[in-house]
């Protein structure tokens, strides 16, 4: 990107900010990536600035989003930039939520079937349509954000004895391919010994395709260039795969950050990536979100969260500089006032990327 184009991007951003809220704001991925590498043109943006691991960070503010209410097991946050709205699920209750932070308007809906809902990802260029993990199905759901939703069709399924397996976390990669993982429901019923009967799948034209087997709790996903980052919570580490973008083929799995070796409190759960490639990871049972440099396997930062069971994270806001954090209130945390809330963290000095949406074949 030329210096002239970089400066034009900054001017355009300033104009948008001066105009106030707009219906649709286009912010290509390269805007944030370029802005983070602009020291050579005399601006004050950081260039892969290394952040302190001190948990008491000046400038970072954590607040509960009161308008979002309280859920049992918040998961799967996804920011839709064109709507300036956050979607997430109450997993065990099977409820889909939507929040417009600037107005505080919060709506929710429950698809028919009384099944767990692990995640929600919008469909590219199909407003009001989403792919959700619905029990053991990957389903296309329609919802206008107001009235009752409906399941349009099942796009793929995983064979299992009813009630023994369910989809957990899921996201779309930069090519628009959906990735989602399964897990045993044993832990949902109070048993802490989690069998490794889950797997990681991608959604293809002919249904769900298995890529990784012997998974305990399939969780966080993130991508950068030809890499895919992945979390199986029971392994208590973050792994990386080499990814062939066109085919979705995975190879060369390796650990890039081990929670036990780094003495991190909690287990890794949901995950997101920022514009310079650092990973932000929810620590279930750890009262915190951590930020790591995946290239060096280095802890950069800890962000304390009032709730213990921190489940997932997602960048949002007009500049994608607000970190939304979902939490749970299950088992020992059930009924605690800080549990199951949605939190927003500002002042982190970092930006995310636009969340990718699922690209489905023409129907």
pLDDT tens-digit map of 212-266: 999 999 999 999 999 999 999 999 999 999 999 999 999 999 999 999 999 999 9
pLDDT band, very low/low/confident/very high, at 282 (cuts 50, 70, 90) = very high
Q: Tell me the C-alpha distance between 63 and 79, whole Å.
A: 18
CA angle 78, 350, 293 (to 5 degrees): 95
Model pLDDT for residues 157-211, shown as the tens digit of each residue:
999 988 899 999 999 999 999 999 999 999 988 777 789 999 999 999 999 999 9
**What stretch of H or E contains 241?**
strand 237-244
Distances (CA, A) of 155 to 116, 209, 296: 17, 12, 38
- In this prediction, residue 348 carries a pLDDT of 97
Percentage of the chain beyond pLDDT 70 is 84
Question: 276 by DSSP, 3-state: which?
Answer: coil
- In this prediction, residue 16 carries a pLDDT of 41
DSSP 8: H
pLDDT band, very low/low/confident/very high, at 357 (cuts 50, 70, 90) = very high
Return the higher-pLDDT residue of 309 and 20: 309
The whole-number average pLDDT for the span 317-344 is 96
- In this prediction, residue 330 carries a pLDDT of 93
The catalytic site residues sit at: 269
Return the higher-pLDDT residue of 332 and 157: 157
**What stretch of H or E contains 18?**
helix 3-19
- In this prediction, residue 4 carries a pLDDT of 44
pLDDT band, very low/low/confident/very high, at 97 (cuts 50, 70, 90) = very high
pTM (2 d.p.): 0.85
Question: 12 by DSSP, 3-state: which?
Answer: helix
The whole-number average pLDDT for the span 302-331 is 97
What is the residue-averaged pLDDT of the chain? 87
């Amino acid at each position: 990107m030329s210096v002239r184009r970089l400066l034009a991007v900054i001017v355009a951003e300033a104009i948008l900010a001066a105009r106030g809220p707009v219906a649709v704001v286009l912010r290509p991925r390269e805007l944030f990536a370029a802005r983070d590498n602009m020291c050579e043109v005399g601006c004050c943006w950081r260039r892969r600035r290394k952040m302190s691991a001190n948990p008491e960070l000046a400038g970072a503010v954590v607040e509960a989003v009161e308008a979002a209410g309280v859920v049992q097991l918040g998961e799967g946050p996804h920011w839709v930039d064109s709507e300036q709205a956050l979607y997430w699920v109450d997993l065990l209750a099977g409820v889909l939520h939507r929040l417009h932070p600037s107005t505080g308007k919060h709506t929710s809906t429950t698809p028919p079937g009384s099944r767990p809902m692990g995640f929600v990802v919008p469909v590219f260029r199909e407003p009001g349509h989403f792919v959700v993990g619905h029990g053991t199905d990957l389903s296309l759901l329609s919802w206008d954000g107001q009235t009752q939703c409906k399941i349009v069709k099942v796009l793929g399924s995983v064979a299992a004895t009813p009630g023994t397996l369910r989809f957990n976390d899921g996201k779309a990669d930069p090519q628009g391919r959906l990735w989602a993982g399964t897990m045993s429901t044993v832990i949902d019923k109070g048993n802490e010994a989690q069998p490794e009967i889950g797997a990681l799948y991608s959604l293809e034209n002919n249904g769900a395709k298995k890529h990784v087997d012997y998974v305990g709790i399939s969780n966080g996903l993130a991508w950068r260039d030809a890499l895919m980052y992945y979390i199986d919570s029971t392994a208590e580490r973050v792994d990386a795969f080499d990814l062939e973008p066109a085919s979705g083929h995975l190879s060369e799995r390796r650990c890039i950050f081990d929670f036990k070796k780094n003495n991190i409190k909690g287990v890794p759960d949901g995950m997101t990536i920022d514009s310079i490639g650092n990973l932000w990871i929810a620590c279930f049972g750890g009262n915190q979100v951590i930020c790591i440099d995946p290239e060096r396997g280095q802890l950069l930062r800890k962000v304390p969260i009032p709730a213990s069971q921190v489940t997932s994270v997602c960048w949002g806001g007009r500049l994608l500089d607000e970190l939304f954090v979902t939490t749970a209130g299950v088992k020992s945390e059930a009924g605690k006032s800080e549990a199951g809330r949605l939190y927003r963290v500002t002042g982190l000095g970092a930006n995310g990327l636009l969340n990718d949406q699922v690209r489905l074949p023409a129907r």
